[in-house]
């Protein structure tokens, strides 16, 4: 529930954008339209009970509606760009949860976009990872500078400025543990100016 109301999701989710136009409070039954939540429970009382422990959401007095504690103020596109990293060469089994678990090491992951082909099952091999702040995005880029391929988000994936490469599986040993880059490997620092489109 907190994800549905997050800044990152509200700035991209058209359904939620339309719902909050009617007011900050949303009836709990509306969220039965979300398959992931419905798979967990269809009992609105259980959802209301869980929301009472939330630090970002609050219930109405009758426990039938939910809203954010703080108003939604969308980030500018420039702010979003500085918080976002474009990742490619992802393995076929990559999922939003898998990508989030990897990049959470560098900061709070606010949103992951993982495009798929029309058959819905196969991913296209790249993703957009949005952090809550630019510093976390910079940490992620720097961490993989020696062995991976990153791009900072710009208007079009085809015009992205290449920063570094990413291949999470190559960063793991046979036991599944993350390998640290050799000490003699150089790491490039992230330059905010690379966020701008290059014109050939």
Provide the pLDDT for residue 97: 92
Cα 113 from chain centroid? 6
How many angstroms separate the CA atoms of 128 and 168, rounded? 15
Mean pLDDT of 122-135: 91
Q: Could you count the other beta carbons within 10 Å of the beta carbon of residue 130?
A: 24
Average model confidence (pLDDT) across the chain: 75
* E-state strands within the chain: 26-27, 57-59, 65-68, 84-88, 109-113, 126-131, 150-152, 161-164
Q: Which domains does the chain have, with CATH numbers?
A: 7-68 (1.10.10.10), 77-195 (3.30.70.330)
Confidence tier at 142 by pLDDT (50, 70, 90): confident
For 187, phi then psi, to 5°, come to -120, 130
Q: Could you count the other beta carbons within 10 Å of the beta carbon of residue 67?
A: 16
Provide the pLDDT for residue 146: 55
Question: Shortest CA distance to 137 belongs to which of 80, 78, 91, 75?
Answer: 80
Indicate the pairing of strand 109-113 with strand 84-88. unpaired
Question: Shortest CA distance to 129 belongs to which of 156, 162, 96?
Answer: 96
Identify the DSSP state of 175. T
Provide the pLDDT for residue 159: 38
Percent above pLDDT 90 for the chain: 34
Q: pLDDT at residue 168 above 60? A: no
- The answer to whether 190 touches 141, Cβ cutoff 8 Å, is yes
- The answer to whether 14 touches 116, Cβ cutoff 8 Å, is no
């Amino acid at each position: 529930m907190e994800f549905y109301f997050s800044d990152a999701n509200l700035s991209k989710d058209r359904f939620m954008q339309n719902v909050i136009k009617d007011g900050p409070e949303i009836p709990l039954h509306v969220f039965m339209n979300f398959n992931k939540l419905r798979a967990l429970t269809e009992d609105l009382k259980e959802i209301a009970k869980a929301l009472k422990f939330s630090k970002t959401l609050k219930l109405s007095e009758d426990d039938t509606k939910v809203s954010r504690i703080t108003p939604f103020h969308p980030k500018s596109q420039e702010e979003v760009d500085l918080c976002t990293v474009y990742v490619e060469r992802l393995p076929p089994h990559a999922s939003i949860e898998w990508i989030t678990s990897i990049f959470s090491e560098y900061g709070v992951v606010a949103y992951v976009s993982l495009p798929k082909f029309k058959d819905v099952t196969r991913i296209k091999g790249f993703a957009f990872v949005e952090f809550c702040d630019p510093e976390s995005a910079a940490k992620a880029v720097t961490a993989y500078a020696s062995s991976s391929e990153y791009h900072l988000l710009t208007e079009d994936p085809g015009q992205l400025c290449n920063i570094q490469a990413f291949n999470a599986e190559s960063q793991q040993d046979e036991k599944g543990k993350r390998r640290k880059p050799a000490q003699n490997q150089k790491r490039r620092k992230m330059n905010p100016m690379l966020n701008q489109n290059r014109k050939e």
